[in-house]
Amino acid sequence: MNRFDFTPYRRSTVGFDRLFDLLENQVRNNGGENYPPFNIERRGEDAYRITLAVAGFKGEELDITAQQNLLTIVGKKRDEQPEGEMLHVGIANRGFERRFELADFVRVANADLADGLLIIDLVREVPEAMKPKKIVVGKPGLEIVQQEETDSKAA
């Protein structure tokens, strides 16, 4: 297992401990588990999509839980006995648990199951209070103007 050393970055940054711990834990915990296969794509500035290949699972066998900064997807496969004698078993018929760490203000917008693919759309919604603001110097009462308003006036 390759391990990336974040020590030089830890020495020159402040407040990023959670990020470095998260990266190190992901490498440690994922230990080669790659079932079910998945894609993560960026669909816009604040939109993402996770697609998992969950062939053979029904909607009621999948449990999607989002809490704080963690998205957990659990597939529980019921034990079904085949009618005949199995000569070769090549289709995975096992349960799984897949976890995704989400950034602050990222929430699940939609989840859909079609053609053996579980599609989860995510969106980042930063609250107004957290968006950048332009501070106007020299104005009485310390007037604060939204960054977007000043940018549109400059254009």
Q: Are strands 117-124 and 144-146 parallel, antiparallel or unpaired?
A: unpaired
Burial of 52 (0-12, 13-18, 19+ CB in 10 A): buried
pTM of this structure: 0.68
Q: By the 8 A CB rule, do 48 and 106 touch?
A: yes
Rounded distance between C-alpha atoms, residue 90 and residue 48, angstroms:
32
Tokens of 87: 């000569």
- pLDDT per residue rounded down to tens, the chain (155 residues): 456 677 777 777 888 777 777 777 766 665 556 889 999 999 999 999 999 999 889 999 999 999 988 999 999 987 777 788 888 877 777 899 999 989 889 999 999 999 999 999 999 998 888 778 888 887 665 555 555 554 555 54
β-bridge mates for residue 145, sequence order: 134
Rounded distance between C-alpha atoms, residue 10 and residue 131, angstroms:
27
Q: Please report the pLDDT score of residue 1 as a whole number.
A: 47
Rounded distance between C-alpha atoms, residue 121 and residue 110, angstroms:
5
Q: Are strands 96-101 and 106-114 parallel, antiparallel or unpaired?
A: unpaired
